[in-house]
Amino acid sequence: MPPLRYLTAEQALTGDGDAVLEAAASTRGSEHAAVMGEVAALLAWCKARHPAKSLAIQRGDLATRV
């Protein structure tokens, strides 16, 4: 996992054997761009580690597959 400054992250496996990564941040608005850069790095790490799988991204009540 890339080094994280703003995000806290936890990894787990579901009962079906799917890998789950949950990450969250609580920051000031002035740090938003840096946080989103960290999110991008974390997503790139996930895609590199599991290239054959789609990633389900959930943000609040919005879920997207990438």
In angstroms, the CA 51 to CA 2 distance is 17
Percent of the chain with pLDDT over 70: 86
Domain assignment of residue 1, yes or no: no
Domain assignment of residue 56, yes or no: yes
Domain assignment of residue 21, yes or no: yes
In angstroms, the CA 63 to CA 5 distance is 24
Tokens of 42: 């974390």
Q: pLDDT value at position 16?
A: 85
Domain assignment of residue 3, yes or no: no
Q: Domains in the chain: how many in total?
A: 1
Reported as a single tens digit per residue, the pLDDT across 19-46 is 888 888 888 889 989 988 998 998 899 8
**Domain that includes residue 13, residue range:** 8-65
